[in-house]
Amino acid sequence: MSDNLFELHVGYVSFKNPLALAPMAGIVDSEFARKYASDAGLVVLGAFNMDEASFKVASALVARGRKEFLCRESPLEVIQKEIRSVNSKSAVAVNVRSATLAPLIEAAKVVKKEGAILELNAHCRQPEMLEAGLGEALLSDLPKLMEWIRAIKETGVVLSVKVRANVVDDIKLARAIDRAGADIIHLDAMHEGFDGPDLEAILTYRDSTRLFLIANNSIRTFAGAKEAFSWGADMVSVARGAQNDPDLIPDLVKSVSSYQQAIGWYNAPKHVCSSGDFRGLAFCCLPVKPCPVHAKFQKLGYTAEEFARTKLDFAKGTLLEFGKDTCFGSLVWCCKVSKPCWIRDGALNALDLSDSEYMKLKRELAEYVLDHAKVPVNES
Ligand SMILES: Cc1cc2nc3c(=O)[nH]c(=O)nc-3n(C[C@H](O)[C@H](O)[C@H](O)COP(=O)(O)O)c2cc1C
Ligand code: SF4
Ligand code: SF4
């Protein structure tokens, strides 16, 4: 299978597929990654404790029976060795905790040299962590979080920020991370009291930023992963599921690869009238009747006329220009391939355009509509 089937790149990092192993302190190291996730697109090692405060808290947690990676003397050497020991074609990220900025900058330099991703842990929430200003405590001070992101990004490292949904205002948080210059948001879409990811939260992040979005929480089947993709995740990560089932990541990778080959856009959004994100505008009709399309394109600063013109401009010179028998005279207004329609399928057949080629064009169209918005997504 081609390593470029998904065409996923963030800065100097490429992902061979959109499946990740999520971090679990004291559990996810290079050995675990080799055993459970050798074919994942990304493995996130850690968390590693980078300063005295985080080491102290982690030691106290270990004394209470929790697993942690404790490497007080030489965390940077351990990180470097761990990245190298993953030894697969997976991209590697390193999840780090610190109550101070300086050790994060040092970690960023090492991680960048190894071609890996630094993941800032703004997620762990044991009371001791919060008290020491670690993990989720970073979410309660967005200006400080932004200042840290800016400073870390000066090293040139590809930076992910791991957060939990429904803790603070998710729109403000997504925008703050985006504006400060991070590259990736790794979202634990936790929904207190529910089994499965909070899909609305994934949509909220998707419509607040164009950053690469990794989502997780209780994903154990391809149906669950597919849902997270269709609500806006670029990548899905699993933690407990991988620990409980060594075949989970390989099975998910196989399923998403076959799906991408057949469909051409593994994380195609839903239609806008079914809670689709902004990218769903690629499947919208000519805006001639009252429906949710109007509110959606208005958020991006388009008038109806400008929205229609933008789609037609993209279509010019592509096969989406054709399809005169379809509802609005061109495939540029047509629905997702998953919606059965013999008229559209007839037009695709006549053009010898496969479903996956059609969906790839729709993906490019979605990017074009977002690129030309008067109000950028992170301000909409
Ligand atoms: C034992 C354990 C340890 C974890 N440690 C970390 C950690 O160190 N850093 C972090 O960002 N998330 C950590 N997480 C959170 C996971 O990465 C993930 O977001 C969460 O478990 C939800 O995904 P899942 O339902 O696939 O497990 C941990 C989760 C578990 C179960
Ligand atoms: S334009 Fe069509 S696809 Fe888009 S929201 Fe309206 S009815 Fe749904
Ligand atoms: S022709 Fe079919 S796919 Fe195209 S807009 Fe009409 S119903 Fe949708």
Query: At 96, is the pLDDT very low, low, confident or very high (cuts 50, 70, 90)?
Result: very high
Query: At 87, is the pLDDT very low, low, confident or very high (cuts 50, 70, 90)?
Result: confident
Choice between 193 and 38, residue whose per-residue pLDDT is larger: 38
Residue 128 has pLDDT above 90, yes or no: yes
**Are residue 257 and residue 343 in the same domain, yes or no?**
no
Which of 195-199, 303-307, 313-317 bottoms out in mean pLDDT, i.e. has the lowest?
A: 195-199
Residue 1 has pLDDT above 60, yes or no: no
**Are residue 46 and residue 147 in the same domain, yes or no?**
yes
pTM exceeding the 0.75 threshold for the entire prediction: yes
pLDDT in tens, 62-85: 999 999 888 877 899 999 999 999
**Are residue 355 and residue 255 in the same domain, yes or no?**
no
The C-alpha atoms of residue 336 and residue 234 are separated, in whole angstroms, by 18
**Ligand 3 atom with minimal separation from the 285 CA:** 5
Q: How far is the CA of 289 from the centre of ligand 2 (A)?
A: 9
pLDDT at position 3 is 64
**Are residue 43 and residue 153 in the same domain, yes or no?**
yes
Q: Which residues contact 237 (CB under 8 A, 6 or more apart)?
A: 19, 20, 21, 22, 42, 44, 186, 214, 215, 216, 219
Domain boundary, last residue among 228, 263, 298: 263
Query: At 219, is the pLDDT very low, low, confident or very high (cuts 50, 70, 90)?
Result: very high
| DSSP β-bridge partners for residue 119 | 95, 160
pLDDT at position 358 is 98
- Residue whose CA is at the smallest distance from ligand 2 atom 4: 284
**Are residue 243 and residue 326 in the same domain, yes or no?**
no
Pick the ligand that lies closest to the CA of residue 94: 1
pLDDT at position 158 is 98
Residue 2 inside a domain? The answer is no
Q: How much of the chain, in percent, has pLDDT values that exceed 90?
A: 94
Domain CATH number, residue 132: 3.20.20.70
Q: How far is the CA of 374 from the centre of ligand 3 (A)?
A: 28
Residue 239 near ligand 1, beta carbon < 6 Å? yes
pLDDT in tens, 321-336: 999 999 999 999 999 9
How many domains does the structure of the chain reveal?
2
Query: Which residue among 123, 134, 192 has the greatest number of ligand 1 atoms within 8 angstroms of its CB, and so is best to mutate?
Result: 123
Residue 135 near ligand 1, beta carbon < 6 Å? no
Pick the ligand that lies closest to the CA of residue 338: 3
Number of Cβ within a 10 Å radius of residue 186: 28
Average pLDDT, the chain: 96
pLDDT at position 71 is 81
The C-alpha atoms of residue 350 and residue 344 are separated, in whole angstroms, by 10
Residue 289 burial by Cβ neighbours in a 10 Å radius (0-12, 13-18, 19+): exposed
Stretch (H or E) spanning 200 = helix 199-206
Domain that holds residue 137: 8-263
pLDDT in tens, 238-247: 999 999 999 9
